[in-house]
Structure 1
Amino acid sequence: MKKDRYIFPAVFDYDDDGISISFPDLPGCFSCADSDEEAIYMAKEALGLHLYGMEEDGDDMPVPTSINKISLESNQAVVLVEVLMPTVRQAVENFSVKKTLSIPQWLNKLAIENNINFSQALQTALKEQLGIRERH
């Protein structure tokens, strides 16, 4: 079942060239940053996108490890990272994707002469074709 809010521990690994971010409970979820502030932002983004992918794939969500159970080295710190999934889902699902299409030259010229926004026209036509009345 999808949840609206997740909190997972992240390990911030400090080195001379920046901060590496990993999530002990989520193999493959990594990021990096140059400052603590940027690391928090990047950790939230990485976590949100990773969890969104897991939701889409139907994967089971792991139980987050308690921070007192995570072993650290002297250059590491544990940070609890929270993501609100409705915001992540909306951002990902409304992200614009580029499409390549072909139309007759005469139609292209006429549309340009009439200042038609091609992206908007395609979206409107697709919504009409799919019977979508409201914005998703």
Structure 2
Amino acid sequence: MKIGYYAIFNYDDYDINEEKYGIAIEFPDIPECISCARSEEESFLMAKEVLEFITSQMKVYELPKMSDLSEITLKDNEKAFYITYNTEDIDQSEFTFYDV
């Protein structure tokens, strides 16, 4: 099954000239799905990884409906990217799940 949601990359703490690197990553539809990275390239990897981890713990009926891009309001220094993965490509042995 293909899973996909929009991620918001916030560049407030990113300045290549001052060697300040920090891109905050969040998914508006999944509040607990957050991460950060030092570069845009790393941001895509981290966004996919956190999306895979959080949604792999959810049942299909628990997955929230994806917002339309037109419903997402971006602030200055933010960009939206569509992040996807195929559940069949996930090696679940890499994750440790705990019942809470």
The two structures have a TM-score, normalised by structure 1, of 0.60
Determine the C-alpha separation between the residues in 1 that align with 2:80 and 2:43.
Answer: 12
* Inter-partner Cα distance in structure 2 for 1:67 and 1:53: 25
Structure with bigger RCO (C-alpha 8 Å, 6+ apart): 2
- How many pairs were matched up? 89
The one-letter code sitting in structure 2 at the alignment partner of 1:95 is: E
Q: Which whole-Å deviations, capped at 9, do the CAs of 1:39-94 have from their partners, x for residues lacking one?
A: 00000000011110113xx6521110011110111110100000111112xx12x3
Aligned residue for 1:18?
A: 22
Moved over 3 A (4+): none
**Which protein is richer in helix relative to its size?**
1
Matching of residue 47 in structure 1 with residue 51 in structure 2: yes
Q: More strand by proportion, 1 or 2?
A: 2
* Structure 1: distance between partners of 2:53 and 2:89: 11
Identify the match of residue 87 of structure 1 among 79, 86, 89: 89
Q: Which runs of 5+ in 2 are unaligned?
A: 14-20
| CA distance 1:96–1:41, shift in 2 (3 Å) | closer
Q: Which of 1 and 2 has greater Rg?
A: 1
Counterpart of 2:78? Answer: 76
Q: Which residue of 2 aligns with 1:6?
A: 3
